[in-house]
Amino acid sequence: MSANNESWGSRVGLILAMAGNAVGFGNFLRFPVQAVQNGGGAFIIPYLVCFLLMGIPLLWIEWSIGRFGGRFGYHSTPFILNSLDKRRFWKYLGVFGVWTNIAVAAYYCYLESWTLSYVYHSLVGSFSDLSQTQIAQFFNDYVNLSVSTSGIPYEPIFFFVVCLALNTWVLSRGLSGGVEKVAKIGMPLLILFGMFLAFKGFTITAGEDGAINDSSVGLNFLWTPNFDSLWSPKVWLAAAGQIFFTLSVGMGSIQCYASYMRSKDDIALSAMSAGWMNEFVEVVLGSSIIIPIAVGYLGIDNVIELTKSGGLGLGFRTLPYLFYQWGDLLGALSGVMWFGLLFFAGITSSLAMGTPWMSFLMDEFKWKRESAAWSFGIIVFVLGMPTVLFFNYGVFDEYDYWSGTVSLVVFAMIESILFAWVFGIDKGMREINAGSDIQVPNIYRFIIKYITPTFILLVFLSSLVTPKDGNWDEALSGNWVLDDSSIIRKITNAGLKEQITAATDAATKANLEDTLMFVNGSRLLLVVLFLSITYLVYVAYNRRLKEGEI
**pLDDT tens profile 41-68:** 888 899 999 999 999 999 999 999 999 9
Q: Residue 146 above 90 pLDDT?
A: no
Give one DSSP letter per residue of 124-173, joined into a string.
Answer: HTTTTT--HHHHHHHHHHHHHTSS-SSS-TTHHHHHHHHHHHHHHHHHHT
Tens of pLDDT, residue by residue over 317-346, are 899 999 999 999 999 999 999 999 999 999
For the entire predicted model, the pTM comes to 0.93
Tens of pLDDT, residue by residue over 73-104, are 999 999 999 999 999 999 999 999 999 999 99
Q: What is the mean pLDDT of residues 352-371?
A: 95
User: Of the candidates 59, 55, 99, which has an alpha carbon nearest to the alpha carbon of residue 76?
Assistant: 99
User: Of the candidates 78, 102, 108, 103, which has an alpha carbon nearest to the alpha carbon of residue 414?
Assistant: 78
Instruction: State residue 415's pLDDT score.
Output: 96
Query: Does residue 202 contact residue 36 with C-beta atoms inside 8 Å?
Result: no
Read off the DSSP letter of residue 59.
Answer: H
Q: What is the mean pLDDT of residues 479-492?
A: 91
Tens of pLDDT, residue by residue over 400-430, are 999 988 999 999 999 999 999 999 999 999 9
3-state secondary structure of 467: strand
Q: Is 354 left (phi over 0), alpha (psi -120 to 50) or beta?
A: alpha
Q: How do the domains of the chain map onto residue ranges? A: 11-546
Give one DSSP letter per residue of 168-188, joined into a string.
Answer: HHHHHT-IIIIIHHHHHHHHH
Neighbours of 473 (CB within 10 A): 13
**C-alpha span between 481 and 469 (Å, rounded):** 9
Instruction: State residue 1's pLDDT score.
Output: 44
Lowest-confidence pick of 76-80, 139-143, 346-350, 441-445: 139-143
Q: Residue 477 above 90 pLDDT?
A: no
126 to 157, 185, 388: CA distances (angstroms): 19, 27, 22
Q: Residue 517 above 80 pLDDT?
A: yes
Confidence band of 212 (pLDDT split at 50, 70, 90): very high
**C-alpha span between 437 and 268 (Å, rounded):** 7
**C-alpha span between 510 and 517 (Å, rounded):** 11
Instruction: State residue 148's pLDDT score.
Output: 62
Q: What is the mean pLDDT of residues 288-293?
A: 90
3-state secondary structure of 30: helix
The CATH fold assigned to 11-546 is Amino acid/polyamine transporter I (1.20.1740)
Confidence band of 262 (pLDDT split at 50, 70, 90): confident
Structure-model confidence comparison of residues 118 and 218, the more confident one: 118
Confidence band of 259 (pLDDT split at 50, 70, 90): very high
Most confident of 20-34, 201-215, 461-475, 520-534: 520-534
